């Protein structure tokens, strides 16, 4: 082998080799940085989605337990309680749960007793199975919330419809009674809708980061700041999308229910401290004969009606009140600090605003009426669901009495 000494080296070839080495190193560094940044951001966004999914699952489970307690909690002779569902209660419980959970993007739910036995599942074949080897379930039975993000090739939702390539957050939530864990909920929440937004956020971030890495060092800070701002904007858009009804622009059911729960808790805390402003009013509203309007003028006209109706309701309440679409043609209004008399007054105001001017549908002026139920929190109420139930019962009374009126 013939050795080459420094005086024999070709400077041009050595420079090219160094440039190639530098270029290769820079390219590898950029690719590594971009990959790590993309992976990290995706993890952050995924954790963000998981955190909100877990929060939703916990809140829905609390509401579900409050609404269905009589069907799933059994009290023993010694005063203790445990989770169980009798066979005769299963059909009614299943119907109620599917109806209640449908708006929350929940595709599957199981209820476990303390002995790891499945006492209810949206998959009936699993009822009665003992899942004692489930480590995550054991964590929940020990009092800890356990969640996991998974990709499913196929799932069946609560309407028995098949969904393919689905992202879900599976959460085990301990069920407590008098401080003791008596079982667990297992909730599968569909978070696929965030996939496209997350991909867009990652793509935008990486595009900005790539530009930063190939631009002069002096402009790096400006690009980083822009990238951070864009990611925050996208996260804010994602957050708002989880709170807003896409048709009417007001709060969706998840947000209005959480608002009612939060305001009830706030009022309860203030009442215990002996403070003022401890009232809370709820108004439930349902459009009379909405199906006939859809049948006569079309679903597009029905959508326009709901949009204008939401505007009229919002015009009748205070800036710190919250109006939400509860489902279909039903609306819920949360009135912090309002007693029953004030709640009735607001309901009457909304009723008058709806009646006083017809709605323009397909070029025709159509008179529209609504039935409203009003209720306010009392010292005897332990949960907001009790107030919500009274408002719903009042709405039913208004409907039964002939519609087009306020009850409560």
Question: What is the C-alpha R_g of the chain?
Answer: 28
Q: Please compute the mean of the pLDDT values over residues 236-263 and round it to a whole number.
A: 86
Kindly report the backbone phi and psi dihedral angles of residue 105, in degrees, each rounded to the nearest multiple of 5, phi listed first. Answer: 60, 25
Q: Which residues of 354-370 are buried (b: 16+ CB within 10 A; e: fewer)?
A: beeeebebeeeeeebeb
Q: What is the pLDDT of residue 204?
A: 86
pLDDT reading at 188 higher than 50: yes
pLDDT reported for residue 286: 96
| Average pLDDT score, the chain | 84
Partner residues linked to 329 by β-bridges: none
- Specify the long-range contacts of residues 90-94, CB closer than 8 Å, at least 24 apart: 90/120, 90/127, 93/68, 93/120, 94/120, 94/122, 94/124
Measured CA to CA, the distance from residue 44 to residue 170 in angstroms comes to 18
Report the relative pairing of strands 370-376 and 406-407 from DSSP bridges: parallel
Instruction: Give residue limits of the domains in the chain.
Output: 71-191, 195-241, 253-407
Q: Please, which residues have CB within 8 angstroms of residue 195's CB and are 6 or more apart in sequence? A: 167
pLDDT single digits (tens) 71-130 = 888 887 777 888 888 888 888 888 888 888 877 888 888 999 999 999 998 888 998 999
* Nearest-angstrom CA–CA distance, 335 and 46: 35
Least confident range of 43-57, 272-286, 291-305: 43-57
Q: Does residue 231 carry a pLDDT above 50?
A: no
Kindly list the distances between the CA atom of residue 43 and the CA atoms of 36, 181, 202, 222, 295, in Å, as whole numbers in the listed order. Answer: 10, 32, 10, 24, 47
71-191 — its CATH code?
3.30.450.20
Q: Can you tell me the distance from the alpha carbon of 338 to that of 347, in angstroms, rounded to the nearest whole number?
A: 12
pLDDT tier for residue 305 given thresholds of 50, 70 and 90: very high
| 9 vs 346, more confident | 346
Residues 6+ apart with CB under 8 A from 313: 285, 323, 331, 333, 350, 353
Average pLDDT, stretch 253-281? 89
**Which of residues 210 and 171 earns the better pLDDT score?**
171
Q: How confident is the model at residue 407 (pLDDT cuts 50, 70, 90)?
A: very high
Report pLDDT digits (tens) over 4-46: 434 444 444 555 665 566 667 777 877 888 888 888 887 788 7
First to last CA, the chain: 102
Q: Are 329 and 306 in contact (CB under 8 A)?
A: yes
Which of these, 343, 342, 391, 341, lies nearest to 371 by C-alpha position?
A: 391
- Residues 121/110, Cβ–Cβ less than 8 Å: yes
Question: 254: Cβ–Cβ under 8 A, 6 or more apart, which residues?
Answer: 56, 103, 104, 242, 243
Which structure tokens are listed for 160?
Answer: 């028995």
Which of 198-202's residues contact partners 24+ apart within 8 Å by CB, and which partners?
198/42, 198/45, 198/46, 198/49, 198/238, 200/234, 201/41, 201/45, 201/231, 201/234, 201/235, 201/238, 202/38, 202/41, 202/42, 202/45
Q: Which helix (H) or strand (E) holds 203?
A: helix 193-213
Class for the domain spanning 253-407:
alpha beta
Token output for 109: 């739910």
Average pLDDT of 318-345?
Answer: 95
**Entry pTM:** 0.45
Q: How many Cβ atoms from other residues are within 10 Å of residue 263's Cβ?
A: 24
**Of 164-178, 231-245, 363-377, which gets the smallest average pLDDT?**
231-245
Q: Could you tell me if residue 206 is left (phi over 0), alpha (psi between -120 and 50 degrees) or otherwise beta?
A: alpha
pLDDT of residue 18: 56
Residue 141 has pLDDT above 50, yes or no: yes
pLDDT at 222 over 50: no
């Amino acid at each position: 082998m013939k050795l080459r000494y420094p005086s024999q080296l070709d400077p041009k070839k050595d420079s090219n080799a160094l440039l190639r080495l530098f270029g290769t190193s820079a390219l590898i560094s950029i690719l590594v940085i971009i990959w790590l940044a993309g992976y990290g951001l995706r993890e952050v966004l995924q954790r963000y989605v998981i955190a909100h999914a877990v929060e939703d699952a916990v809140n829905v489970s609390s509401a579900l337990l409050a609404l269905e307690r009589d069907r799933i909690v059994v009290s023993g002779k010694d005063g203790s309680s445990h989770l169980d569902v009798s066979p005769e209660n299963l059909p009614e419980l299943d119907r109620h749960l599917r109806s209640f959970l449908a708006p929350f993007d929940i595709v599957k739910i199981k209820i476990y007793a303390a002995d790891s036995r499945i006492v209810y599942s949206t998959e009936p074949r699993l009822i009665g199975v003992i899942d004692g080897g489930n480590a995550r379930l054991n964590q929940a039975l020990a009092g800890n919330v356990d969640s996991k993000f998974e990709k499913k090739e196929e799932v069946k939702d609560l309407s028995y419809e098949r969904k393919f390539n689905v992202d879900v957050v599976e959460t085990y939530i301990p069920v407590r009674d008098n401080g003791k864990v008596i079982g667990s909920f297992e909730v599968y929440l569909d978070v696929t809708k965030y996939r496209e937004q997350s991909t867009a956020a990652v793509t935008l971030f990486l595009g900005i980061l790539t530009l930063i890495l190939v631009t002069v060092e002096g402009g790096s800070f400006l690009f980083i700041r822009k990238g951070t701002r864009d990611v925050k904007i996208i996260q804010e858009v994602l957050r708002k999308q989880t709170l807003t009804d896409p048709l009417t622009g007001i709060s969706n059911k998840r947000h209005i229910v959480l608002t009612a729960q939060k305001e009830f808790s706030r009022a309860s805390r203030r009442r215990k401290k002996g403070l003022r402003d401890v009232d809370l009013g709820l108004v439930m509203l349902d459009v009379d004969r909405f199906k006939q309007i859809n049948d006569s003028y079309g679903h597009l006209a029905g959508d326009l009606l709901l949009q204008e109706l939401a505007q009229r309701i919002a015009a009748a309440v205070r800036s710190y009140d919250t109006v939400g679409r509860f489902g279909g043609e039903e609306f819920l209004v949360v009135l912090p600090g309002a007693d029953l008399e004030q709640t009735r007054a607001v309901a009457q105001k909304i009723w008058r605003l709806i009646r006083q001017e017809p709605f323009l549908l397909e070029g025709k002026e159509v008179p529209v009426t609504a039935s409203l139920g009003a209720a306010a929190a009392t010292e005897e109420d332990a949960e907001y669901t009790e107030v919500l139930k009274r408002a719903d019962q009042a709405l039913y009374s208004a409907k039964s009495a002939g519609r087009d009126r306020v009850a409560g």
